[in-house]
Amino acid sequence: MPANTPSPNNGTLLSIQNLHTWFELRKWGFGRAGYVRAVDGVNFDLGYGEAIAFVGESGCGKSTLAKTMLGIHRPTKGDVIFQGKKLNAFSSQEMQWYHSQVGYVQQDPYGALPPFMNVHRILSEPLLINKVADKDEREQRIRDVMTEVKMTPPDDFLQKFPHMLSGGQQQRVVIARSMIMRPKLIVADEPVSMLDASVRVEILMLLRALQQSHNLAVSYITHDLSTVRYFSERIFVMYAARIVETAPVDDLLREHLHPYTQALMLAIPDPDAKNALTLKEVPPGEPPSLINPPPGCRFHPRCPHVIKGLCDTQEPPAFEPRPKHFVECWLYK
Amino acid sequence: MKVPGPLKELTHYRSAVFGLLIIGSLIALAIFTVVTIPYDEAIQRWRAGEEMWGDYPRNAVPDWFTLFAGNKLPKTLILSSLDGSVRKESQAVADDMRTADMKFTFDYTSDGFPSELNLFLTGKSAQKKPLATMIWKTPDGRTIPLGDVTVGVAERFAISTDQRLSLKLDGRAPEVGLFAQPGTTAKGMTPVVQKGKYELLVEGLTFEKDSTLDAKLVVYGQAYGWAGTDHRRRDILLALLWGTPIALAFGFLAAVGSTLTTFAIAAIGAWFGGWVDATIQRLTEINSVLPTLPILILVGTFYTRNIWVILGIVIALGIFSLGIKTYRSMFIQVKEMPYIEAAHAYGAGNLRIVFQYMMPKIAPVLIPSFVTLIPSFVFLEASLALLGLGDPLLPTWGKVINEAYTNGALYKGMYYWVLEPAALLMLTGLGFAVVGFALDRIFNPRLREL
């Protein structure tokens, strides 16, 4: 078992083991020009009813990881194990079942809804695909889920098309659609980043409430550390296709060990008038190319604490300097 | 609801309402035709010869020409001893020998001459055929013997083509000479119609006990019906009527067959990608260099000219048309939309995604081009018919034009023969084009400013 996976308390729902998702680059349409290593060796376990958060900047592989968990992308190497069974070994029928067990909440609520379907049809689709044959049961489920996402009375909304709803309402429909098959896991990929600040908290509270009332596991993906606290029990910090630091949310927010996490925390805006005229220190350079990542620790070209001869040659394993707090950094060996 | 929106919006465009009226009346005409004249009957009548069309004038203009031509276009007159419009007088002359005299009397009031004059004689006899002698009496009292004929079962006594009679009438055609005022038929003069009561006397003799003799006189006019007649005396209206459902069906089926399949194939290629897409693209490119019209001419010349086979080939050649490239570029955009990803995540299968998620998104773009495509296939059918590759059985607009063309209609001044089907073709094109343009403006609002 990989090191940075503290066992969840109440059994493992989803286990990600040494996961690699690479995209092939083509040359002249058929030649192989290499790979984009969007997810490159990720390990973690997710328990029943547990909420976790992935943070990291754009292009670090968070969304690819989410889509691999959802079965949209096939892993190049490694495994996604759901309730003890490998996703790769699933038959197409089992895959269909898996799709019903994992809900997906996307970033752009308007884009996530087919513009030519009304809300009723949008919510019926997953039920029809998963062969909920009884019409009354479908209607009942649609009404239940609409009530759960607080779009009441449902009849006011069911005949509407997405463009007739506000952004917050659209996102509620997206959440309702992800909940309608009564999944065990919800993957929420930046669910509030495109919403108005005023409705963000509402949507997060709604997700939190659903998570608690249905004992849902939630994998919350964000680049916004300020919303993480509402939600998750553990935080995974991703950088350049790898998880560099893992800890329970309070531990991580109190003490950030990896130099990248430290930089990330520094970047959180602090509404203090004193800061108006000072520049924040940020690591120099840009995140590395995922086609050809740097050898050793991927952060070493930008790291202020780089150890020459070690960080730039050998990949750091996961160390556990505090209980349940794992970090891939040679500083903690 | 969103669906009826564009249709409702169509009524805001006056041009579209006009176009819808045209399309609607064409469809109504097509339904009316199919209901009142069954398919088999239409084919049978159109292919029939003199036995069916004998009483119709040859190359007659439509009736409504009389509105402009004044009294110069006579209508056809039919008098017959068979239907009782002429009395037959019979007297015994000797053993088994009886007379059968018929007097065809009619008032001629037109300023124009008839186009043809025929007497149809029918007789019944075992061995000795009846004999008929014809005498023409003009209103001013002249009598002109037309000759005699022994009557078999059915005899056509073609007065118009009698050369000797023509010589007697100053070289004028009999239908002119017999109706002209005396003194106007000489060479260099314009014959003038003598109005009044004419009489054709048929003096018949039968030589057997059960032998009979009957006669029918047809004084052919110069105008007939709504649409006139062609060189084989056929009523062109029949072809115009039956051309409507055929043109609409051909255009609609060809447009449906080629655009919908093209659309679906483009979506399938864009979604599956890889070798599926590559195969579709290469087939499209190969198909795009195949010349449609020459292939259709080849098929028509060497294999069959059946309109439904031609339709099949038009559709087959249209499936991998260049529209695939356009649609594919749109589908590739749609394919990456988040709602497709979401559908994939909740387990929608490939075909469901293609047909229920991708195609409805682009369908609005398809509709205007689909509507404007219908008349182009109607024109294609007409072009093929004009090239002599029309269906050998069915009467179509294109075939009417083709027959007019091969019979030199325009040189002979028979404009109606060409203009009637051409007007229907243009009307079809206009109706669909106008609706198509309006739909285009509705579905692509950016065009409205232009």
Top CATH class, B63-220? mainly beta
Summarize the confidence of residues B199-218 as an average pLDDT: 89
Query: What pLDDT does residue B4 have?
Result: 56
Size of interface A-B (CB pairs under 8 A): 61
Q: Given an 8 Å threshold on Cβ–Cβ distance, is A95 in contact with B347?
A: yes
Closest to A150 (Cα-Cα) out of A124, A129, A172, A130: A172
Q: Write the CA distances from B97 to B81, B126, B215, integer angstroms.
A: 20, 14, 18
A183 vs B contacts (CB less than 8 Å): none
| 3-state secondary structure at position A253 | helix
* A→B interface, C-beta within 8 Å: 67, 70-72, 95-96, 99-100, 102-104, 106-108, 111-116, 125-126, 129-130, 159, 161, 174, 177-178, 181
- At A203-234, the pLDDT tens digits run 988 998 999 899 899 999 988 777 887 778 89
- At B356-369, the pLDDT tens digits run 999 998 888 888 88
Cα B306 from Cα B389, distance rounded (Å):
9
A254 in Cβ contact with A224 (< 8 Å): no
Cα A123 from Cα A175, distance rounded (Å):
10
* Phi then psi dihedrals of residue B336, to 5 deg: -90, 5
Cα B350 from Cα B271, distance rounded (Å):
8
User: Under CATH, which number does the domain B5-46+235-449 receive?
Assistant: 1.10.3720.10
Report the complex ipTM: 0.87
Summarize the confidence of residues B84-101 as an average pLDDT: 85
- Whether residue B247 is predicted with pLDDT greater than 70 in this model: the reply is yes
Summarize the confidence of residues A245-257 as an average pLDDT: 88
A95 vs B contacts (CB less than 8 Å): 347
- Whether residue B325 is predicted with pLDDT greater than 60 in this model: the reply is yes
Q: Given an 8 Å threshold on Cβ–Cβ distance, is B343 in contact with A125?
A: yes
CA dihedral B300, B306, B309, B313 (to 10 degrees): 30
The conformation of residue A87, written as its DSSP 8-state character, comes to G
- At B229-245, the pLDDT tens digits run 998 899 999 999 999 99
Query: What pLDDT does residue A232 have?
Result: 83
B350 in Cβ contact with B264 (< 8 Å): no
- Least CB-CB distance to A126: which of B2, B346, B360? B346
The conformation of residue A225, written as its DSSP 8-state character, comes to G
Query: What pLDDT does residue A250 have?
Result: 87
Task: Give the confidence band of B49 by pLDDT, cuts at 50, 70, 90.
Answer: confident
Query: What pLDDT does residue A4 have?
Result: 46
B91 in Cβ contact with B229 (< 8 Å): no
Query: What pLDDT does residue B171 have?
Result: 86
Which are the contacts of B8, defined by CB distance < 8 A and separation ≥ 6? none
Tokens (6 digits) for B227: 């649409």
- Whether residue A2 is predicted with pLDDT greater than 60 in this model: the reply is no
Query: What pLDDT does residue B390 have?
Result: 84
| 3-state secondary structure at position A249 | helix
A306 in Cβ contact with A289 (< 8 Å): no
Tokens (6 digits) for A277: 């005229």
Summarize the confidence of residues A45-49 as an average pLDDT: 90
B1 vs A contacts (CB less than 8 Å): 159
* Phi then psi dihedrals of residue B84, to 5 deg: 90, 0
Q: Given an 8 Å threshold on Cβ–Cβ distance, is A125 in contact with B360?
A: no
- Whether residue A5 is predicted with pLDDT greater than 70 in this model: the reply is no
Q: Given an 8 Å threshold on Cβ–Cβ distance, is A129 in contact with B349?
A: yes
Query: What pLDDT does residue B3 have?
Result: 47
- Whether residue A106 is predicted with pLDDT greater than 70 in this model: the reply is yes
Q: Write the CA distances from B371 to A168, B310, B374, B441, integer angstroms.
A: 39, 21, 6, 13
Summarize the confidence of residues B343-350 as an average pLDDT: 90
A283 in Cβ contact with A231 (< 8 Å): no
- Whether residue B303 is predicted with pLDDT greater than 50 in this model: the reply is yes
User: Nearest-CA distance from B450 to chain A in Å?
Assistant: 27
Task: Give the confidence band of A3 by pLDDT, cuts at 50, 70, 90.
Answer: very low
In this prediction, what percent of chain A has a pLDDT beyond 70?
97
Closest to A129 (Cα-Cα) out of B354, B335, B268, B352: B352
Q: pTM for this one?
A: 0.79
Pairing type for strands B92-94 and B154-158 reads unpaired
B57 in Cβ contact with B220 (< 8 Å): yes
Sign of CA dihedral A115, A116, A118, A124: negative
- Whether residue B445 is predicted with pLDDT greater than 70 in this model: the reply is no
CA triple A176-A181-A183, angle to 5 deg: 95
Q: For the purposes of burial, counting CB atoms within 10 Å of the CB of B419, is it exposed (0-12), middle (13-18) or buried (19 or more)?
A: middle
Contacts with A, B 131-190, CB within 8 Å: none
CA dihedral A283, A286, A291, A293 (to 10 degrees): -20
Query: What pLDDT does residue B312 have?
Result: 92
Render the burial of A276-308: b for 16+ CB within 10 Å, e for the rest: eeeeeeebeeebbebeebeebbbbbbbbeebee
User: Nearest-CA distance from B358 to chain A in Å?
Assistant: 9
Q: Write the CA distances from A237 to A56, A77, A257, B44, B248, integer angstroms.
A: 6, 21, 11, 84, 65
The conformation of residue B75, written as its DSSP 8-state character, comes to P
A177 vs B contacts (CB less than 8 Å): 342, 346
- Which of B281, B335, B344, B346 to substitute to test the interface with A, most A CBs within 10 Å? B346
Q: Write the CA distances from B348 to A120, A184, B272, B343, integer angstroms.
A: 17, 19, 14, 5
Query: What pLDDT does residue B243 have?
Result: 92
Summarize the confidence of residues B250-254 as an average pLDDT: 93
Top CATH class, A12-332? alpha beta
Q: Which residue of B has its CA nearest to A187?
A: B345
Q: Is B344 on the interface with A (CB under 8 A)?
A: yes
- Least CB-CB distance to A111: which of B2, B339, B348? B339
Classify A18 in phi/psi space as left (phi over 0), alpha (psi -120 to 50) or beta: left
B345 vs A contacts (CB less than 8 Å): 70-72, 99, 102, 104
- At A182-194, the pLDDT tens digits run 999 999 998 988 8
| 3-state secondary structure at position B265 | helix
Cα B110 from Cα B72, distance rounded (Å):
6
- Least CB-CB distance to A70: which of B337, B345, B349? B345
Tokens (6 digits) for B213: 């003799």
Summarize the confidence of residues A285-289 as an average pLDDT: 84
- Which of B1, B2, B336, B339 to substitute to test the interface with A, most A CBs within 10 Å? B339
- Any alpha helices (H) in B90-178, and if so which ranges? 163-168, 174-177
- Whether residue A1 is predicted with pLDDT greater than 60 in this model: the reply is no
B271 in Cβ contact with B353 (< 8 Å): yes
- Whether residue B21 is predicted with pLDDT greater than 60 in this model: the reply is yes
- At A119-148, the pLDDT tens digits run 999 999 999 998 888 889 999 999 999 999
Render the burial of B320-337: b for 16+ CB within 10 Å, e for the rest: bbebbeebbebbeebbeb
Terminal CA-CA length for chain B: 29
Tokens (6 digits) for A7: 């066992």
- Whether residue A303 is predicted with pLDDT greater than 90 in this model: the reply is no
* DSSP letters for B43-64: HHHHH--HHHHTTSPTTPBPGG
- Whether residue A174 is predicted with pLDDT greater than 90 in this model: the reply is yes
Classify B425 in phi/psi space as left (phi over 0), alpha (psi -120 to 50) or beta: alpha
User: Nearest-CA distance from B5 to chain A in Å?
Assistant: 13
A199 in Cβ contact with A148 (< 8 Å): no
**Domain map (residue ranges) of chain B:** 5-46+235-449, 63-220
Q: Given an 8 Å threshold on Cβ–Cβ distance, is B341 in contact with A106?
A: yes
Closest to B119 (Cα-Cα) out of B88, B89, B146: B146
Question: How far does CA A131 lie from the centroid of its chain?
Answer: 28
- Work out the mean pLDDT of chain A and round it to a whole number: 87
Which are the contacts of A89, defined by CB distance < 8 A and separation ≥ 6? none
Query: What pLDDT does residue B275 have?
Result: 92
- Whether residue B5 is predicted with pLDDT greater than 70 in this model: the reply is no
Which are the contacts of B67, defined by CB distance < 8 A and separation ≥ 6? none
**Domain map (residue ranges) of chain A:** 12-332
Cα B153 from Cα A247, distance rounded (Å):
114
Task: Give the confidence band of B2 by pLDDT, cuts at 50, 70, 90.
Answer: very low
Task: Give the confidence band of B168 by pLDDT, cuts at 50, 70, 90.
Answer: confident
| 3-state secondary structure at position A315 | coil
Closest to B323 (Cα-Cα) out of B378, B384, B262: B262
CA triple B379-B381-B385, angle to 5 deg: 115
| Residue for token pair 């070798």 | B275
Residue type, B43: I
